[in-house]
Structure 1
Amino acid sequence: MSNASVDVGAKVAVVTGAARGIGRAVGALLVERGYAVVLTDLSAEEVRRTAREIGAVAGVAQDVRLEESHAAVVAEATTYGRLAVWVNNAGVGDDGALTELSSEAVRRLVEVNLLGVIWGTRAALGAFGPGGGDVVNIASVSALGPVPGLSVYAATKAAVLSLSMSLAGETPAGVRVHAVCPDGVDTDLVAAMRPDGRAKAMVHSSGRLRTTAEVAAVAVDLVGRRRVVRTLPAWRSPLVRAGALIPSRSRTGFALFEAMGRRVMERSRRDA
Structure 2
Amino acid sequence: MPAAWGRAAACVLDIRSPAGWTSAFEAAEAAFGSVDVLVNNAGITHTGVARDLRQQQHRDIVEVNLLGTVTGVCTALARMTAQGHGHINVCSMTSFLPLPGYATYCASKYGLRAFHHSVAIEERDGPLDFTIIHPPSTRTAMLEQEMADPSCAIAFAEKSYAPQQIARAVVDAIATKPIEVVFPALAGRVQRIAGVFPRLMRLILPVDEARGLRHRERLTSQPGTGS
TM-score between the two structures when normalised by the length of structure 2: 0.87
The residue number in structure 2 matching 1:23 is none
What is the rounded CA distance, in whole Å, between the counterparts of 1:150 and 1:203 in structure 2? Answer: 9
What is the rounded CA distance, in whole Å, between the counterparts of 1:264 and 1:195 in structure 2? Answer: 13
C-alpha deviations, 1:76-120, integer Å up to 9, x for none? 122130221111111102122221111111111011001111110
The residue number in structure 2 matching 1:176 is 129
Cα 1:136–1:246 shift into 2, 3 Å? closer
What is the rounded CA distance, in whole Å, between the counterparts of 1:193 and 1:67 in structure 2? Answer: 29
Contact 1:87 1:136 in 2 (8 A): yes
Amino acid of the structure 2 residue aligned with 1:265: R
The residue number in structure 1 matching 2:148 is 195
The residue number in structure 2 matching 1:119 is 71
C-alpha deviations, 1:213-259, integer Å up to 9, x for none? 11111112211433121111122334434553332453331221012
The residue number in structure 2 matching 1:223 is 174
Amino acid of the structure 1 residue aligned with 2:79: A
Return the structure number with greater helix share. 2
What is the rounded CA distance, in whole Å, between the counterparts of 1:219 and 1:104 in structure 2? Answer: 32
Secondary structure at the counterpart of residue 135 of structure 1: strand
The residue number in structure 2 matching 1:156 is 108
Task: State the identity %.
Answer: 26
What is the rounded CA distance, in whole Å, between the counterparts of 2:142 and 2:132 in structure 1? Answer: 19
Amino acid of the structure 2 residue aligned with 1:87: V
Q: Which runs of 5+ in 2 are unaligned?
A: none
**Please, what is the CA RMSD of the aligned residues?**
2.1
Aligned pair partner of 1:247 in 176, 186, 198: 198
Contact 1:134 1:224 in 2 (8 A): no
Aligned pair partner of 2:30 in 41, 55, 79: 79
Q: What are the residue-to-residue correspondences of 1:53-132 with 2, within 5 Å?
A: 55-80=6-31, 81-128=33-80, 129-132=82-85
What is the rounded CA distance, in whole Å, between the counterparts of 2:193 and 2:88 in structure 1? Answer: 28
Amino acid of the structure 2 residue aligned with 1:237: G
The residue number in structure 2 matching 1:185 is 138
Q: Which runs of 5+ in 1 are unaligned?
A: 5-51
The residue number in structure 2 matching 1:209 is 160
Secondary structure at the counterpart of residue 131 of structure 2: strand
Amino acid of the structure 2 residue aligned with 1:157: K
The residue number in structure 1 matching 2:213 is 262
Q: Which consecutive aligned stretches of 4+ in structure 1 deviate over 6 angstroms post-superposition?
A: none
C-alpha deviations, 1:166-203, integer Å up to 9, x for none? 2222224431122211111111011112634232x211
Q: How many corresponding residue pairs?
A: 220
The residue number in structure 2 matching 1:9 is none
Return the structure number with greater strand share. 1
Contact 2:147 2:216 in 1 (8 A): no
Contact 2:130 2:179 in 1 (8 A): yes
CA deviation after TM superposition for structure 1 residue 265, in Å: 2.5
